[in-house]
């Protein structure tokens, strides 16, 4: 095997490859970012009194959106502020999604990382460092995840209520409907076989559980219009992967923050009740 010396390009100084070129590549190949199964929802999205968002990405499962700002060179304060501002605008306009801010730059500076650490996990933000590499066939791009949302979601105590508080009516009338919200009741009944003192905890992002007055996030329910997403917060293992693969449940991609995610209906939850009970018990004991 012959060795080929690769040449790294600085896009900010390149005479032809500019920020628009970089946006075009991401627009046509969003999977290149390595953040999951996503598609481009919008580009140069106008923000009220706040400029334009470079790219708005969305999970193919319809649960999450990503507010993406692209920058050549090193991160600077103006781009940092814009990224967080656009994230805040979009999450308020569309609260039915989980929103993540993403800043892409050629150089993720230590100052940027220090500022993010001061936010203490208040904003789910991801930083991707892009490297352009010249090859005989053309220019390739390599995206390195310098900062992941998982690094800061764990800062807040698991005994704290994460997210704005809500109530049942919010989920039945605004986010989902009474039928899919009732599936969360079935999950609660399963959870109460593990500990009878577990109760519902309604937030605007998901429905989780309380135990003795404190939030106990070993699993979350996110009712949608036609079904419900059940997240079970367990580390990913080959044993659980195989167990779920052999079931008839509709599986979503594993999420480092949320764990295993299952798209369930009233019928599929009942058909798989023993297995789901075991997984929730494992998650409960893991979080204890």
- For residue 114, what pLDDT band results from cuts at 50, 70 and 90? confident
Stronger pLDDT, 270 or 110, i.e. the higher one: 270
Q: Report the alpha-carbon distance of residue 127 to residue 200 in Å, rounded.
A: 34
Q: DSSP readout, 23-90?
A: HHHHHH-GGGG-SSSEEEEEEEEE-TTS-EEEEEEEETTSSEEEEEEE-SSB--HHHHHHHHHHHHHH
Q: Report the alpha-carbon distance of residue 200 to residue 160 in Å, rounded.
A: 14
Alpha-carbon distance values, 159 to 31, 40, 167 (Å)? 35, 36, 19
Q: For 129-139, what is the mean pLDDT? A: 87
- For residue 149, what pLDDT band results from cuts at 50, 70 and 90? low
- For residue 287, what pLDDT band results from cuts at 50, 70 and 90? low
pLDDT given for residue 154 in this prediction: 37
Stronger pLDDT, 271 or 112, i.e. the higher one: 271
pLDDT given for residue 164 in this prediction: 61
Is the pTM for the entire model greater than 0.85?
no
Stronger pLDDT, 151 or 280, i.e. the higher one: 280
- For residue 288, what pLDDT band results from cuts at 50, 70 and 90? low
- Is residue 246 a contact partner of residue 214, using CB atoms and an 8 Å limit? no
pLDDT at 3 over 90: no
* DSSP conformation class of 218: S
pLDDT given for residue 95 in this prediction: 82
Tell me, letter by letter, the H, E, C secondary structure of 221-268: EEECCCCEEEEECCCCCHHHHHHHHCCCCEECCCECCCEEEEEECHHH
Q: What is the pLDDT of residues 177-213, one digit of tens each?
A: 999 999 999 999 999 999 999 999 998 888 999 887 7
* DSSP conformation class of 165: B
Question: Which residues share a beta bridge with 128?
Answer: 104, 145
Q: For 125-141, what is the mean pLDDT? A: 88
Q: What is the pLDDT of residues 54-105, one digit of tens each?
A: 999 998 877 789 999 999 998 888 888 899 999 999 988 888 788 999 999 9
pLDDT at 48 over 70: yes
pLDDT at 215 over 50: yes
Question: Which residues share a beta bridge with 125?
Answer: 101
Q: For 158-186, what is the mean pLDDT? A: 80
Q: For 213-239, what is the mean pLDDT? A: 88
pLDDT at 157 over 50: no
Per residue in 62-99, is it b (16+ CB within 10 Å) or e — as a string?
ebbbbbbbbbbeebeeebbebbbbbbbbbbeeebebbb
For the chain, what is the mean pLDDT?
Answer: 86
Q: How many CB atoms lie within 10 A of CB 157?
A: 10
pLDDT given for residue 136 in this prediction: 78
């Amino acid at each position: 095997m012959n060795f080929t010396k690769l040449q790294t390009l600085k896009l900010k100084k390149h005479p032809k490859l500019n920020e628009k070129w970089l946006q075009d590549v991401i627009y046509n190949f969003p999977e290149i970012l390595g953040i999951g199964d996503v598609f481009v929802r919008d580009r140069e999205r106008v923000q009220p009194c706040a400029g334009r968002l470079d790219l708005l990405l969305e999970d193919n499962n319809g649960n999450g959106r990503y507010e993406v700002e692209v920058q050549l060179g090193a991160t600077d304060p103006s781009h940092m502020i814009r990224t967080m501002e656009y994230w805040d605008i979009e999450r308020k306009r569309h609260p039915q999604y989980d929103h993540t801010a993403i800043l892409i730059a050629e150089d993720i500076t230590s100052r940027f990382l220090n500022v993010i650490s001061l936010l203490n996990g208040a904003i789910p933000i991801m930083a991707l460092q892009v490297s352009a590499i010249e090859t005989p066939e053309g220019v390739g791009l390599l995206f390195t995840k310098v900062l992941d949302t998982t690094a800061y979601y764990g800062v807040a105590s698991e005994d704290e209520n994460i997210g704005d508080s809500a109530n049942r009516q919010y989920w039945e009338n605004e986010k989902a409907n009474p039928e899919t919200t009732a599936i969360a009741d079935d999950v609660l009944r399963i959870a109460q076989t593990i500990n009878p003192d577990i109760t519902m905890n309604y937030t605007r992002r998901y429905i989780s559980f309380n135990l003795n007055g404190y939030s106990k996030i070993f699993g979350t329910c996110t009712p949608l219009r036609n079904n419900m997403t059940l997240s079970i917060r367990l580390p990913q293992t080959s044993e659980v992967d195989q167990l779920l693969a052999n079931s008839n449940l509709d599986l979503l991609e594993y999420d480092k923050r949320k764990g295993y995610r299952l798209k369930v209906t009233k019928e599929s939850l009942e058909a798989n009740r023993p297995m789901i009970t075991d997984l929730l018990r494992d998650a409960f004991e893991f979080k204890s």
